Amino acid sequence: MITQPDHVPERLALLPASAADRFLTEQLLKAEQVHGGIDLAKAVEPLPEDDARWAVEPIRSLVEDAMFEFRDDRTRADAWLAPRLHATLRLTRREAADKRLWTHLALAVAPDYVAWRHLSESTAARPERRIPAERFQGPADRQCFSRLWWAAELFRNGADYEPVEVACGNQDLIHTVLRRDLIDHRPTAQALVRLVKNGKITTGREINGLSVAVTAAGATLVYDVLAPDEPRDPAALRHWIAEAETAPPVSRHVLPDGPDEDPVPEESVAALVDHFTELFETAPVRGRKSEV
């Protein structure tokens, strides 16, 4: 298994795809050898020096703690790391949409974590263990770190990250639902989490069947009418980002606090839980026996 590069930058930067490609070597994708870091540092675009958010040390510390704490079950690291990464790397959505930031984080700062978390298991059909290249440089729902940050952003309930733990504790939920535009409706996200938390939906097939039904129903039903949400307060996000300058490291034992935004109206979540439960009863779930 690879270790961190010999040269780890002190600050995050932007790494364009064209510059990153040559560092995605076969040796790296097989978790056999990592780049030294010096040559990669010459290919990045720097971020503002006066912004405390770009410090690498807090993120490096988080991933090292995650690898130690979850060494016996690496998939459990997602639920622990997602809210803490989000609270440590305080971004606007526009900033988080820049893939160059995540590529730099994965390739320059923590390629050892990407390998630890996403190196495939050896099977009879595929005996060679590999890290999918998309975990370093890929879509937001597949890239190692962006998927966790966006899951935390979309599933948090205002300042409360507890729903993020539930969502990221179910791989099928974040794999299936994160890529759907509908999840940006906060009551929908909270309703889906609640259905998972109460055990109504558990398997990947059930989650996929429900998400298909929810999306299809959304074509004729406006969820904003059925389950209205409170408008976001941009001042709360700006204040939370500004606090990064003086914020202490996130706790390893209790969940941090997100932006001080109003939570989703409970009546909207309850309305969608009832509605989605009805949808689930008739949703096409492969392998589920039809009732006579």
Confidence of residue 234 (pLDDT cuts 50, 70, 90): very high
Whether the predicted pLDDT of 166 surpasses 50: yes
Can you read off the two tokens belonging to residue 103?
């590529």
Concatenating the DSSP letter of every residue in 192-213 gives: HHHHHHTTS--SHHHHHHHHHH
Whether the predicted pLDDT of 289 surpasses 70: no
Span 152-174, average pLDDT: 94
Mean pLDDT estimate for the chain:
92
Q: What's the pTM?
A: 0.94
Span 43-67, average pLDDT: 96
Whether the predicted pLDDT of 212 surpasses 70: yes
Span 110-118, average pLDDT: 98
Q: Where are the domains of the chain?
A: 1-155
Confidence of residue 288 (pLDDT cuts 50, 70, 90): low
